[in-house]
Amino acid sequence: MHVRKRLANGTLAASLLAGVTILAPTAAQAGEERAAAASCYGSAHSYSKPEGTADLPAGRLFVTSGNCADINIMPRTNRYVMVCFETASGGSHCPSGYTLAVGGEWNVIEYDVPDGTQFYFHFRSAALSNGSWAA
């Protein structure tokens, strides 16, 4: 009887430990994620959107790079912003609604965007905005 109880307790403990081991990210995975973020944000560009326009850049397009999987922005102050893409016919397509980009933090505005994609930011407000972007 005592042997069965010990065996059951040992099996339960081993199962719990295995579950924790599977769920916990490895040090290598965590290091890869930090390196990817450093590569993406390390290649960030500063921006200054003048008052009176809602688009950044005005009259031209940014292009995504191989440094980031997503399109990110870090405004100095909170801003509602969306990403729009140029269509083959020369029009624009804005697939998502506005996202609140929190000032002083990196915010993902569009996820999983292929390298070489042309895009621009469209702000809800035409007020002056400064910060950084990475894509």
Q: Is the pLDDT of residue 58 over 80?
A: yes
Phi, psi for 130 (deg, rounded to 5): -130, 155
Q: What is the pLDDT of residues 98-132, one digit of tens each?
A: 999 999 999 999 999 999 999 999 999 999 999 99
Find the helix or strand (DSSP H, E) in which 30 lies.
Answer: helix 27-42
Q: How many helices (H) and strands (E) does the chain have?
A: 2, 10
> 89 - beta bridge partners?
none
Q: Average of pLDDT values for 48-73?
A: 96
| Domain 2-134 falls under CATH 2.60.120 | yes
Phi, psi for 17 (deg, rounded to 5): -65, -40
Q: Average of pLDDT values for 17-37?
A: 50
C-alpha distance from residue 24 to each of 12, 37, 75, 127 (Å): 18, 20, 33, 44
Average pLDDT, the chain: 83
Percentage of residues in the chain with pLDDT exceeding 70?
72
* Residue (of 111, 2, 129) closest to 58 by Cα position: 129
**Is 4 or 51 the better-scoring residue by pLDDT?**
51
Ordered by start, the domain boundaries in the chain are 2-134
Cα 121 to Cα 62: distance, rounded to the nearest angstrom = 9
Q: Is the pLDDT of residue 17 over 50?
A: no
pTM beyond cutoff 0.75: no
